[in-house]
């Protein structure tokens, strides 16, 4: 079945970025000149996904406004002959079709996905966490859709992390799947645990914020009890789903930045700016001139 829809949970409070996120959503923090959430939506659009379902909450209206058309601004840019900016502003509102649903209580990622159940319906779908910005030759979601097309089962994106970092992630236990077309990147999950103690983690393969899920996950989420941090965890629901159907893990190609973290956000900013044709050369020169 084709993947047409993606769920973007954006209701989180963004406490790691206070005070910047006191009065604006963390998803609107800009990396160079685009908000984090726009990187996520552009990845969806270039992967061939046609609908983004945002799971939002209080204080997140700026996200909806960002992807809406903006007649006054467009009129002004037109009047001033700023055609290039006008095109950029217009294209933001036509990337994909958008719908919004509210998560009324902060009960975790699993709960946020469950809130989107009616809008997703009985079809496989993607989940994108906009904190994870991924720079890749082929968009990460597209890579995962290709795996889904071959295997027809849920796929989670993974990367290796240091042992000491495992307690920040969902960690999988898995066996490699020999598939020449995927050059050693595919695993079949045998177990998974959310934010384990490093001494008890089953591996250092961490789940990154990109998933392709079969709708069967909703049936598990309904009865998944609160887990790590007192929240309903997607990892726990997937662990239950594992008893009923296989789930794959895919070591994606590309570089991921944890832009929900201050250091990761700075790394994303520097590296993405260096790659920008309009800024890269001047920024490189500036960095080289710094006394460090
Ligand atoms: C969430 C998931 C976790 C995953 C991580 C990836 O955690 O619960 O399994 O490894 O995203 O970024 P969070 O970062 O929201 O605590």
The CATH number assigned to the domain holding 11 equals 3.90.550.10
Tell me: the pLDDT tens digits for 119-142?
999 999 999 999 999 999 999 999
pLDDT the model gives residue 179:
86
pLDDT the model gives residue 20:
93
**What is the whole-number distance in angstroms between the Cα of residue 281 and the centre of ligand 1?**
35
Q: Which residues of 264-285 are buried (b: 16+ CB within 10 A; e: fewer)?
A: bbebbbeebbeeeeeeeeebee
Q: Which of 192, 207, 195 is closest to 242 using CA atoms?
A: 192
pLDDT the model gives residue 68:
92
Is 1's pLDDT higher than 90?
Answer: no
- Tokens (6 digits) for 46: 């270039």
pLDDT the model gives residue 143:
97
Is 239's pLDDT higher than 90?
Answer: yes
Distance CA 129, CA 140 (A): 12
Higher-pLDDT residue of 89, 219: 219
Tell me: the pLDDT tens digits for 135-189?
999 999 999 999 999 999 999 999 999 999 999 999 999 999 998 888 899 999 9
Count other C-beta atoms under 10 Å from residue 167's C-beta.
Answer: 16
- Tokens (6 digits) for 228: 């790590």
Mean pLDDT over 236-240 rounds to: 98
What is the separation of C-alpha 219 from the centre of its chain, rounded to a whole number of angstroms? 22
pLDDT the model gives residue 281:
98
Q: Crossing angle of helices 71-79/83-92, nearest 10°?
A: 160
Domain count along the chain: 1
pLDDT the model gives residue 44:
98
pLDDT the model gives residue 203:
97
List ligand 1's pocket residues with C-beta within 6 A.
109, 129, 132, 169-170, 194, 206-209, 233-235
Tell me: the pLDDT tens digits for 13-55?
889 999 999 999 999 999 999 999 999 999 999 999 999 999 9
166, 168, 264: which to mutate for ligand 1, most atoms within 8 A of CB? 168
Structural domain range at position 217:
5-288
Mean pLDDT over 203-213 rounds to: 98
Distance CA 162, CA 203 (A): 10
Ligand 1: nearest atom to the Cα of 258: 12
Sequence-ordered alpha helix ranges (H) in the chain: 36-47, 61-66, 71-79, 83-92, 109-115, 117-120, 140-151, 216-221, 234-241, 262-275, 280-288
Tokens 């590309």 -> residue: 254
In this prediction, residue 91 has a pLDDT band, given cuts at 50, 70 and 90, of: confident
Q: What is the pTM of this model?
A: 0.96
**What is the whole-number distance in angstroms between the Cα of residue 160 and the centre of ligand 1?**
14
pLDDT the model gives residue 278:
94
Question: Rounded mean pLDDT of the chain?
Answer: 96
Ligand 1: nearest atom to the Cα of 208: 6
Ligand 1: nearest atom to the Cα of 169: 10
Tokens 């570089």 -> residue: 255
pLDDT the model gives residue 183:
83
**What is the whole-number distance in angstroms between the Cα of residue 122 and the centre of ligand 1?**
25
Count other C-beta atoms under 10 Å from residue 118's C-beta.
Answer: 9
* Shortest-distance Cα residue to atom 9 of ligand 1: 170
Q: What percent of the chain has pLDDT over 90?
A: 91
pLDDT the model gives residue 94:
87
């Amino acid at each position: 079945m084709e993947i047409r829809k993606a769920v973007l949970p954006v209701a989180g409070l963004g406490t790691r970025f206070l005070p910047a996120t006191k009065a604006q959503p963390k998803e609107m923090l800009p990396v160079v000149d685009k908000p984090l959430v726009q990187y996520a939506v552009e990845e969806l659009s270039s992967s061939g996904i046609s609908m983004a379902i945002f799971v939002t909450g209080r204080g997140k209206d700026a996200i909806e406004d960002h992807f809406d058309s903006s007649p006054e601004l467009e009129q002004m840019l037109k009047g001033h002959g700023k055609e290039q900016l006008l095109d950029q502003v217009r294209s933001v509102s036509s990337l994909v079709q958008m719908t919004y649903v509210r998560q009324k209580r902060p009960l975790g990622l699993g709960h946020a996905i469950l809130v989107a159940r009616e809008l997703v319906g009985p079809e496989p779908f993607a989940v994108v966490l906009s904190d994870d910005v991924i720079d890749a030759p082929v968009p990460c979601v597209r890579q995962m859709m290709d795996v889904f097309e071959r295997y027809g089962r849920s796929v989670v994106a993974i990367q290796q992390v240091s042992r000491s970092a495992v307690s920040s992630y969902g960690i999988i236990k898995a066996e490699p799947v020999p598939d020449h077309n995927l050059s050693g990147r595919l695993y079949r999950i045998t177990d998974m645990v959310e934010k384990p103690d490093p001494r008890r983690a089953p591996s250092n393969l961490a789940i990154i914020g990109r998933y392709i899920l079969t709708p069967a996950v909703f049936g598990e989420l309904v009865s998944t009890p609160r887990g790590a941090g007192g929240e309903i965890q997607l990892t726990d629901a997937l662990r239950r789903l594992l008893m009923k159907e296989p789930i794959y893990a895919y070591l994606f190609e590309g570089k991921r930045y944890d832009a929900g973290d201050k250091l990761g956000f700075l790394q994303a900013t520097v590296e993405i700016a260096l790659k920008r044709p309009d800024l890269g050369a001047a920024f490189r020169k500036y960095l080289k001139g710094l006394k460090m």
